[in-house]
Amino acid sequence: MGNLQLIRALLIVVGLATTMAMEPTKYLTKYGYLDDGMMSKASDMTPTEMDDMVRDAVMLFQEMAHLPMTGRLDEMTMQQMSMPRCGVADLGEFRLTGRKWDKTHLTYRLINTSPQLDRAEVEDAIYRAFRIWEQVTPLRFSRTSGTSDIEISFVQFSHGDGNPFDGRGGTLAHAYFPGTGIGGDAHFDESEQWTVRTARGTNLFIVAAHEFGHSLGLEHSQVLGALMYPFYQGYVEDFQLDYDDILGIQTIYGSNPNPGNGNPNPDPPTTPPSGGEPTPPTGGGNPNPPTGGRPDICNTDIDAISRIRGETWVFKGKYFWRVRDQVSGPWLTSSFWRGLPEHLDRIDGIYERPDYKILIFKGRRYWVFDANILESGPHYISDLGLPSHLDAVMPWRSNGRTYFFKGNQYWRYNEAEGRVDSGYPRALSIWRGIPTDSIDAAVQHDDGYAYFFKGQDFYKMAERTITVLRGYPKRAAQDYFGCRPDSFSSGPGFAPMFAGSVQPAGLLYHAEGHCEWEQHICDLLIRMEGGETDPLAP
């Protein structure tokens, strides 16, 4: 492939010794970051083209590993490459291979077991690993001693599949996607120190559950904490699938038709069944839990509102709505923006910066997201020169500044210089016609009009005059969100109205069918709005 040229490119990009360059090259190739087809053409590339190819490969790996995307093999990157992991190549958020089993009852067979463990311990760990996928799908697994769909073995180094193991550490196991022959099979590196029900060594249950995700058709996830993340993340005593795992597997096979009402991952019997159809699971794990306790947009005030990627997003408590050609939701904020505190009770503000990063504020801290993936944080709001426990945040179109509101004051933030402008804070009364003591939320639409929310009312303000229009405040439920009058009650009813004399302000500037998010997020939002998924957690 022109190894000398590739090594040279690595040396130029990362500045490492030649003895270290070979291992990163092999690693990036093995896990799919350097393409075999491109590498075969290395002799035809210019030095600049080779440099760019290697730099891009390193950055892709850093993105997957949630490291600073420097394009250089710095100490953190090299350390990450040495971490124990799955032997299947990486591809990004949960991805589907396009391959699936055409049946829901699958069999598996243990070709052998690890001599480090009692056979019963291995059988139990394997049984529990299949069990977690049973909880959230129609799939059922049973062990057999004859011909099976998924064959499981413990092997070392070269073992006949052209994908040798590397001894202790590094690659822990690998599995093959659904199909005939070797399809679905899972191999575990016997060189590892396999353990069960403990954080010592390498936990067989955790690794097996991950590999069986591949056996069922899932590729790797970019979500930290997801089972299908490629790096071994250690033993978890009361393990439960991440929402990303559930979404991925249910996209292939659908949800469990009999989820039950108990613990989504109950402990199975210590002696797994040796054949026959397993007992239906008693757990849940369905990402469509009961809707009780969720707010009704027609009967509530709001905590925050923002225009993000050409759409309006509304927040109340721990939930949010998406306002597009319809009002959809509510869903858990922490389930969409992964990396926020799991038990987040509300947010104070949210906005999209000019560089398209999304900042979310709560209490004394804020987080920075790239789309819905955490980039950094939490940080202290005081580092920005702003007060904690904000009331509202609003970018202003005409001057490119961002306005922060708290109590009877507001601050103007210069994004280009990364600081609060001199002379601030100033009195809220400068914004003529809105309440002078405080506001709950604020947003500016694409036509320049600004909307301020207080209680269940809102105020519409002209950009040029900084003055509220006549006839305001108005009821947000009817005149902003488009609720029918008969939905203004204490009940859970929601009736969006998209025709007639009242048109929801939040829907005026949307190009129907257009999505400005990354494609995987657009697909997720479509599924959410179609009712197929709901990122609510218990």
Whether the CB-CB separation of 16 and 25 falls below 8 Å is answered with no
Tens digits of residue pLDDT in 468-507: 999 999 999 988 988 876 544 433 333 333 222 233 444 4
348 marked as binding residue: yes
Q: Which of 134, 211, 311, 352 is catalytic?
A: 211
Let me know if 277 is a catalytic residue: no
| 87: phi then psi, degrees, rounded to nearest 5 | -90, 0
Whether the CB-CB separation of 98 and 243 falls below 8 Å is answered with no
What is residue 86's predicted lDDT score, i.e. its pLDDT? 93
514 marked as binding residue: no
160: left (phi over 0), alpha (psi -120 to 50) or beta: left
C-alpha distance from residue 362 to each of 55, 346, 365, 368, 404 (Å): 36, 7, 6, 12, 13
Tens digits of residue pLDDT in 516-529: 888 878 877 777 76
Q: Which of 164-173, 236-245, 264-273, 350-359 has the lowest mean pLDDT?
A: 264-273
Residue 444 has pLDDT above 70, yes or no: yes
SS3 23: helix
What is residue 535's predicted lDDT score, i.e. its pLDDT? 43
86 marked as binding residue: yes
Domains recognised in the chain with CATH numbers:
3-82 (no CATH), 105-253 (3.40.390.10), 300-472+512-529 (2.110.10.10)
What confidence category does residue 513 fall into, taking pLDDT thresholds of 50, 70 and 90? low
210 marked as binding residue: yes
153: left (phi over 0), alpha (psi -120 to 50) or beta: beta
- CA 296 to chain CA centroid, nearest Å: 25
298 marked as binding residue: no
What is residue 196's predicted lDDT score, i.e. its pLDDT? 94
Is-cis flag, bond preceding 354, omega within 30? no
What is residue 507's predicted lDDT score, i.e. its pLDDT? 42
449: left (phi over 0), alpha (psi -120 to 50) or beta: beta
Cα–Cα nearest to 311, from 480, 477, 462, 511: 511
Cα–Cα nearest to 405, from 428, 423, 379, 383: 428
**In sequence order, what are the residues at sequence separation of 6 or more whose Cβ sits closer than 8 angstroms to the Cβ of residue 503?**
482
SS3 33: coil
Residue-wise DSSP of 460-506: EEETTTTEEPTT--EEHHHHTS-B-GGG-SSS----B--SSS---GG
Cα–Cα nearest to 131, from 234, 263, 289: 263
167 marked as binding residue: yes
Whether the CB-CB separation of 233 and 203 falls below 8 Å is answered with no
> Which is higher by pLDDT, 15 or 373?
373
Q: Which of 60-69, 166-175, 448-457 has the lowest mean pLDDT?
A: 60-69
**In sequence order, what are the residues at sequence separation of 6 or more whose Cβ sits closer than 8 angstroms to the Cβ of residue 42?**
1, 2, 5, 6, 50
Tens digits of residue pLDDT in 23-76: 787 888 888 888 766 655 666 777 777 777 888 888 888 878 888 888 888 988
| 443: phi then psi, degrees, rounded to nearest 5 | -155, 145
**In sequence order, what are the residues at sequence separation of 6 or more whose Cβ sits closer than 8 angstroms to the Cβ of residue 396?**
402, 403, 444, 450
Cα–Cα nearest to 210, from 182, 236, 190: 236
Q: Is the pTM of this model over 0.75?
A: no
C-alpha distance from residue 411 to each of 407, 437, 452, 467 (Å): 11, 15, 16, 18
Residue 95 has pLDDT above 60, yes or no: no
Question: Among all chains, which residue has been given the structure tokens 């509530």?
Answer: 300
Cα–Cα nearest to 374, from 387, 362, 357, 389: 357
Residue 427 has pLDDT above 50, yes or no: yes
